[in-house]
């Protein structure tokens, strides 16, 4: 999640509120007090970056975990240097 002016505390709150939802829409994000600019940033994806990640994930030993995943390493989740927008990949 690459959203400007969204601090780590707000990111954690956002992840917790979005986790149970089947779909995240602009309306949902607006209702959670994100500005129009933040909503656009949240919903915008860089296709080249996505393709690079998908190619990397084709390797059988590569895994991608988000902050919302129960397997996300607790040591990283607890580190204040990492925000909920951080993706754990190895």
In-domain check, residue 44:
yes
Q: State which residues form the domain around 33.
A: 8-89
The domain total for the chain is: 1
- Per-position DSSP letters for 11-80, written without gaps between them: HHHHHHHHTT-S---HHHHHHTT--HHHHHHHH---HHHHHHHHHHHTSTT--EE-TTSTTS-HHHHH-T
Establish if 59 belongs to a structural domain: yes
Q: Is 1 within the bounds of a domain?
A: no
This model's pTM is above 0.95 = no
List the one residue out of 78, 66, 57 whose CA is nearest residue 16. 66
Nearest alpha-carbon partner for 42 in 26, 27, 54, 22: 26
pLDDT tens digits along 40-87 = 998 997 888 889 989 999 999 998 887 778 888 887 767 655 555 555
Residue 21 forms part of a structural domain: yes
């Amino acid at each position: 999640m690459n959203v400007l002016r969204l601090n780590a505390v707000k990111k954690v709150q956002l992840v917790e509120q979005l986790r149970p939802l089947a779909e995240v829409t602009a309306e949902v994000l607006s209702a959670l007090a994100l500005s129009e600019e933040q909503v656009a940033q949240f919903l915008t994806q860089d296709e080249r970056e996505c393709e690079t990640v998908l190619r990397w994930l084709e390797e059988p030993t590569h895994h991608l975990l988000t902050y919302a995943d129960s397997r996300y390493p607790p040591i990283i989740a607890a580190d204040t240097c990492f925000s909920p927008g951080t993706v754990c990949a190895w």
